[in-house]
Structure 1
Amino acid sequence: MKQKKKDTIFYVFTVISCLVAMIVVVIAALLVYDKIKEKAAEKAQKEAQEALAQTPPLIYTQDDVDLMVTKAVNDAREQAKVEGEGAILSTIQERLAQGSTVMETLRPLYPDKLVISSGGIYHFVPIQYDLKMHERKQENLSVLESGELQYKVDEEVVTQKGIDVSKYQGDIDWKKVAEDGVEYAFIRVGIRGYGEEGKIVLDDKFTKNVTGAKKAGIKIGVYFFGQAITEEEAREEAAFVLKQIAPYDIDYPVVYDLERVSAENGRMNALTPTQRTDVTIAFLEAIKEAGYQPMLYANTEMLGVLVEMERLEDYEKWFAYYGTEMYFPYDYAIWQYTDKGAVNGIKGDVDLNISFKGW
């Protein structure tokens, strides 16, 4: 029995010794493995540092930097262009769907250009910021219930109400016109026919309109519808006007009405912008030399495309633009804003104007 017990104790002791030995071996193996890993890491780090030391640094010249910057800017512009074109197309689609005209749709998209339709073509004319600009603000323009326009500064009306008339308004009751608040009237002296002959003709109602307006206390200016194709003809037109207005006291400017006629035989239609400008200056200078205030009447097409506007910088302008938007950026003294106006004393439509300065 004692022998059996001794054998059992010996067996247990042997097993425990083996387990302890195995644990010691495992621990030793782990320690060796960690040491090997540490050595490997140190070696790898050393090799990396040696490799880095052997790698030359990246050096960029100014030209390299400029090229990289240019490429980045171009990439950004191209991306913006793609995104911008999509937004523009959406805007165009939306405005046209709302009933806007092509012109009304295009103009806000080109703030630094005048968008002008002339001869069946859309012209995108760069604004010449070195020319005189008006400083008026759209929010200062008031539209009355009657449709008339007024321009205010500090809530005070600073414009004068005016009309322009010819034989097409028939017999005018100038007393009623004055009572309706009209302060001045431009009266047509005559025209040069736009056919081949180009005959100068006195307006049938000129004398009656001048005397009637003056009697009613309305200030008057005059205009002549020109179709001269040479400077000599322009001076002939001016001489005709000066002869007709000589008996009267003219308060407002003497105007050269410069228009592109729709008829195919329009005498001035074939002129170049330079020729048309030469003719216009010849008329205006003749009026100026006679002691009157010269003025040019024209619309956006004429001023933006058909004449050399920079050469007309020194002359007062009467600008024709039908609507309430102050689209034209250049300076002008008078604005003809509708040809469908109504004034007491005149049967039918009449042109309405506001003047930003008085004479």
Structure 2
Amino acid sequence: MSMFDDDSYNEGVNVGRRIAIGSVVASVAVLAILAITVLANTGKNGKHGNGSNPYPAAAEKSTEESTEVSEDKETRTSDELSFWNMYDKDEKKEPIVVSENKEKDKEKEKEKKTSTVSKSEAERIRRGISDDSVSENKFNISPLGAKPEYVSINAVIPKNDLIEENFSMKDGRLIYSQGGRNVSHFGIDVSKYNGTISWNKVKKDGVEFALIRVGARGYSSGNIILDENFQANLKGCNENKIDVGAYFFSQAITTNEAVEEANYCVAALGGTKIRYPVIFDSESILNDNYRTENLTAEELTSIFKAFADTVKLYGYTPMVAGSKEQLAKHFDLQSMSGYDVWLLDEGEKTEYPYRYCIRQYDSEGKIEGISSNSVNYDICLISYADK
């Protein structure tokens, strides 16, 4: 027998159908809401790049934009900054080394290409000293018969304007002519080593001037001594109207010693007026040590100037004496252009390019009235008598 009658059964079926339909409708609604939510979230992530994104395309886009931003801010990783990515993989290139001081390096390279002269050599050139490789304009400073040693000619130092062809020998004596007329003066330089001199005979032998030694400073002891024949020679020249110059063999190593030597000369002259200069004679000593051998050119130049300034105070003309080598190596000639020079250089000709006033050119001369085996010959190229 049935538990429910037909009406009850039909009513139950209807209720079941309504419940099933309602469930389906509810499920569709839930799915629709879920779909809308997903679509909405997808739009957000694609536009702003925020939050988790399960879609690869969206992730790639976000990464590209992130890379662009990081490049602008220079915040790339060390891998991204690797300079090896700059080169093709198949091409081998050496890394480039960039100097921190490009301009300095350029200047140094320029100096290497344009000059081979060191700093010390440049200073030597300024004073007129160099070797053959520095300049073609050079002259030999070695004495006659010695191995040549060349130094460069300093363009700043005043040159002599003497014409070589105008020099000639006449009766064994050097003269300088202009327009066919001798315009030079013949003289000698003497000391106690020439013995007692008969000055009247010297005058008759054609001597116009004499440079007589006042004294000397010992090259070892430093003591000053008077030439024992100075006073007699000074008197003999004055009595025979031979123009006089006076020289002192200096070994001063300070300006004070130079002033002392100058004052000594002035005192020895005793107020005698002489036409030719008072001379600072600076020479090297061969085969022995001497006081001035370690002086620099600047030091010796200052010493000479102290001597010169002192004799000028008493109305005398100062002069420096030296060989080509002594003048070129041991004096700063560029700062001495205003001073007269007595050049000690034997031979009929000289290579000395700078201005000089007197030159000792022969150490084996013969003069009447002088008993020594030889005497030094000198030529004067200006007229001190007219000064």
Structure whose alpha-carbon radius of gyration is higher:
2
**Residue of 237, 242, 256 corresponding to 2:266:** 242
Contact persistence 2:201–2:369 (CA under 8 A): yes
**Residue of 280, 290, 304 corresponding to 2:304:** 280
Please tell me whether residue 163 in structure 1 is matched to residue 188 in structure 2. Answer: yes
- Runs of 4+ deviating beyond 6 Å: none
Shift of 1:164: 0.7
Distance 1:165 1:357 in 2: 20
SS in 2 for 1:269: coil
Matched residue, 2:175: 150
Q: Deviations 1:138-175 (Å, cap 9, x if unpaired)?
A: 1111112x321000001100001101110001010100
> In proportion to residue count, which structure has more helix?
1
Contact persistence 2:140–2:351 (CA under 8 A): no
**Residue of 108, 113, 128 corresponding to 2:154:** 128
Residue correspondence of structure 1 range 238-277 to structure 2 within 5 A? 238-277=262-301
- Rate the CA distance shift 1:280–1:121 in 2: closer, same or farther, 3 A: farther
Distance 2:165 2:150 in 1: 26
Q: Deviations 1:165-191 (Å, cap 9, x if unpaired)?
A: 100010101001000110110110000
Task: Give the partner amino acid of 2:227.
Answer: D
When the two structures are aligned, how many residues end up with a matched partner? 249
Contact persistence 2:136–2:152 (CA under 8 A): no
Task: Give the partner amino acid of 1:136.
Answer: L
Contact persistence 2:215–2:224 (CA under 8 A): yes
Contact persistence 2:311–2:318 (CA under 8 A): yes
Shift of 1:117: 4.3
Distance 1:328 1:243 in 2: 34
- Rate the CA distance shift 1:322–1:117 in 2: closer, same or farther, 3 A: closer
Distance 1:275 1:222 in 2: 23
Contact persistence 1:114–1:304 (CA under 8 A): no
Matched residue, 2:243: 219
Distance 2:288 2:201 in 1: 40
Contact persistence 1:184–1:221 (CA under 8 A): yes
Matched residue, 2:207: 182
* TM-score with structure 1 setting the length: 0.66
Shift of 1:265: 2.3
Aligned-residue CA RMSD (Å):
2.0
Distance 2:160 2:349 in 1: 14
Matched residue, 1:316: 340
Residue correspondence of structure 1 range 27-176 to structure 2 within 5 A? 112-117=137-142, 123-144=149-170, 146-176=171-201
Identity value in percent: 37
Please tell me whether residue 204 in structure 1 is matched to residue 228 in structure 2. Answer: yes
Please, which runs of 5 or more residues in structure 1 have no aligned partner? 1-105
* TM-score with structure 2 setting the length: 0.62
Contact persistence 2:156–2:334 (CA under 8 A): no
- Rate the CA distance shift 1:121–1:173 in 2: closer, same or farther, 3 A: closer
Distance 2:287 2:380 in 1: 31
Q: Deviations 1:268-308 (Å, cap 9, x if unpaired)?
A: 11111111111111111111122110011111001111111
Matched residue, 2:254: 230
Please, which runs of 5 or more residues in structure 2 have no aligned partner? 1-130
Matched residue, 2:38: none
